[in-house]
Structure formats: structure tokens, C-alpha cells
Amino acid sequence: MVAAKTWSWDLQGQRGQQRDVRVELVRALSVVHLLFGNSPPSFCGLIVVVFLAPDLQPPHPAYVPMAQKLEGSLLKTYKQDDNPNKMFLAYKVCMTSEGRPWVSSVVRKTRKQIAQDPSLNYEYTPVMGMKSFIQASLNLLFGKNSQVIVENRAGGVQTVGDSGAFQLGAQFLKTWCQNSQIVYIVSAQKEPHGLIFQDMGFTVYEHTFWDSAHLCLEPNMLLDVVEHAPHGCVFVIGSIGNCQLTPHQWTQLMTLMKSKEIFPFFDIPYQGLSTGDLEEDARFLHYFVSQGFEFFCSQSLSKNFGIYDEGVGTLVVVALNNQLLLRVLSQLMTFARALWLNPPTTGARIITSVLCNPAMQGEWRQSLEGVVENVMMTKEKVKEKLRLLGTPGSWDHITEQKGSHSYLGLNSQQVEYLISEKHIYIPKNGRINFTCINSYNIDYITSSINEAVCFTKDSEK
């Protein structure tokens, strides 16, 4: 009998030497046995026993669609505009009333203390990152005495930038979950995460909670997407806390996800800046933990501390038990070594110092509450000014949304009018950063919105 052969493939997808499939299979299964023993893994479809030899994997698809820029030209057009009244309302960061990026006061003090500490060791950090930072991040997300922390089945890897966790998690899923190459990105807005999965060869579908017809975040949209999703796919979910699901809807959602063995990958980019309550903003995770879900979670800690130029976060892993957790973290460490080797420490040190000091953490929490209160006040003022101007339509949806970034509820024609005629730059979907609105520009912005709405109403006649 002629031995079965397969071609090996290098990282660029070029064909290399022939290999014996049966020999490689035996070798791969031997490694699996060393890793898992006689008990097969049960990571809910996440850990799928596949060939560990990378040269046995088929090449990536020959064509991956080019990543589309998300509002890529908006900021560029704004900068080129020489109109003195121009405004940009789509900044990612929280802004102060003076129009500068917000930074928590406790962060400034902590940064000075760290810079003057002669005892610090500036050696490379471990590939997994700072242990103290990871533990502090997990405690912030779940609570120090939570079930998942006490049972030691939650862990994490320190990541780089806002997208590092998705890059790392996607690489893991690409390698270990080859039967589930379909990813759904479901959030309150179009997210950049889909580009990461797309570039790795996943089939990506994107959906938003926002219902532009009824001007609200519609939880039934999420349930509908889950109901029609294929078995064993990956769901990247952001802003789910803003959907305000009822207890019945939560039960329905988890029953559907469990029956279809859908793997959740959550996104928490600014814990505490949605409601002002750190615990409330992450409460939905407790539902999934209590129902026995295993999941990934991208936890970004740049925006809620105000250290945007030192992007730092964690890829959080929740497993069924500590043994499975250690296996997953071991594989993630291999991928992290290839992606960035050693994560930077300055941002992690600042965050760890704040979270591990009760007085400093209390001051930080107060600063978050202050930001959220200012956002709520700004939204109320915008709604009231539009009411006094007699702007057509209801504007209750502005104050009903949580967080600094919310939808104005404008259509594409109205958005275009604001940009071209009033030099107010906002994304096509009308989702703006309300911290960009202050006492200096609120009158101009609201009168411009009123003008845009009235102009489009007149043009429809």
C-alpha cells in the first residue's frame, strides 16, 4: 500500500516537502496525550484536538477581503478644514470641558510616584505579563470573592493596545477551534474587531443592537441573531449591558447559546464609564459564570484610567476548572510570545498601584462617577435645548442611552448636512462622543442639529 502523503506549507502558504500523514498523526496524538492524559478536553468546543504540527494545516485562503476603514477619512477631512467653527465629535477618548483628553487625577499622582521610585526593576516582564496586574484586573472584573476567582478558574494574559486581546484570542481560536470558523460581531456600533478575525480567515458577520427606525437599543435583535446562528460559532459581544435584557430574555439568550454551543467572546472597553458603577457595568458576566459558560473577555483598561497612549488590557479566560485554565493559558503564552514577546509595564504599574490601594481606588471610582454625571448632564442639556428650539421629533433616546458614546438618531442626509454646511464632523451612523460637547459649543451644536433636521424635513416636501 502506498503511504498517504500530504504537502507541508510554510507561513506564506508556499508548498514544501511531502510528509507522511500517518506518521505525523501519531506524533501529534502523542503530544495530545502528554497534554491531556487519558481525559479528553471538554472546553465546550473551544479546545478541539487538532494536529499540533503547523505544517499539516492547509494554507490560508488565497483571498481575504481588504479591511474597510471605519470612518477613516473623517478625522483627516476635519483636520484639512480651515473653518474656525469646525468641531469633531467622534473622538474615542473622554474629553474634558477644556477639550483635552480626560485623565483621572489619581493616575497623574501615581505616575509621578512610579517615576521617582528607585526600587523599581526595569527588567523584561514575563510573556504572560505582570501577575499582580492580571490578578487586580480579574478582581475588578468579577469581584475579589466571586465564585470564579475563589475556584481559581479565571485567568488572563496581559495584552497590548485596545485590540491585543482580540488578536491573541482570535489566534487561539483559529488554531484550536478549526471546526468553528464563523464569527458574529454583535455590538452597539460597528467594531474594528471584525477586521482582526477577517484577516485571519474567519467568516465574519456584523450586527448592531441599534434600531435606527425606533431609535433604541433593541435586545430582541441579539436574540434573533443567536437564534439564526449556526452551531458552534463564536460570538464577539460588546455593549451587551446597554441592552437592558429582562430576566426572561437573559434566560432565553443563555438557553439558545448553550444549546448551540456558541462560544462567547465579550468586550469590556471602559468598565465604570457606562453607568458610573464598576460592578454594574460587568454584572452580565456573572450570569454567564453562574450558568457554567466558558468564555474569553477583552478587558481594556486604558479609557477608564485615561492612559490612552499606553494601551493596556487583559485577555480574560474563564474555564470549567483550573486544569483546563492552565492548558489554555499555556497555549496563549505561546501566541503572545510570537505577537509581542514582553508587554510594557508603565500602564500596568499605574493601574495595579491604584487598584491595590483602597484609598486610591476610591478616588479613582469617584472620578469615574464624575465623568458619567457630566455626560448625563450634557445629554439632558442637549435634549432640553432641542426641545426649546422646537426641533421636530422626540429626543428622549439621547438620555435613554448609557455611556459617553451615544446615537443622536440622525439619518445620513442630516449627518451630511452637519458636516458640509456646519463643519460638525460626526460618524455616518450618528454616534457621537458626548464628552466633546461643552458649554462653549453646545449652543452651536444644538442649533445646527435643529437646522439639519428642519432642512431635511423641508426637502422631503
Predicted pLDDT of residue 247: 87
Predicted pLDDT of residue 281: 94
Is the distance from CB of 314 to CB of 156 less than 8 angstroms? yes
Predicted pLDDT of residue 457: 73
Is the distance from CB of 375 to CB of 403 less than 8 angstroms? yes
Q: What is the pTM of this model?
A: 0.83
| Closest alpha carbon to 294 in 324, 252, 334 | 324
Predicted pLDDT of residue 50: 34
- What are 295's three cell numbers? 468564555
Is the distance from CB of 312 to CB of 303 less than 8 angstroms? no
DSSP string computed for 380-434: HHHHHHHHHTT-SS--HHHHHS-SSEEE----HHHHHHHHHHH-EE--TT-EEEG
Predicted pLDDT of residue 460: 60
Handedness of CA 208, 214, 217, 218 (dihedral sign): negative
Predicted pLDDT of residue 242: 79
How far apart CA 171 and CA 180 sit, in angstroms, is: 13
| Closest alpha carbon to 431 in 409, 402, 453, 456 | 409
The tens-digit pLDDT sequence of the chain (461 residues) is 333 333 333 323 333 334 444 434 444 444 344 444 444 444 444 443 333 333 333 333 322 233 334 445 899 999 999 999 999 999 999 999 999 999 999 999 999 999 999 998 889 999 999 999 999 999 999 999 999 999 999 999 999 988 999 999 999 999 988 778 999 999 988 888 899 999 999 999 999 989 999 999 888 889 999 999 999 999 999 988 778 888 899 999 999 999 999 999 999 999 999 999 999 999 999 999 999 999 999 999 999 999 998 889 999 999 999 999 999 999 999 999 999 999 999 999 999 999 999 999 999 999 999 999 999 999 999 999 999 999 999 999 999 999 999 999 999 999 999 999 999 999 999 999 999 999 999 999 999 999 999 988 766 65
Task: Sort strands 216-217 and 295-300 into parallel, antiparallel or unpaired.
Answer: unpaired
Is the distance from CB of 102 to CB of 371 less than 8 angstroms? yes
What letter represents residue 329's amino acid?
L
Distances (CA, A) of 172 to 12, 71, 314, 327, 388: 19, 29, 15, 12, 54
- What are 244's three cell numbers? 437592558
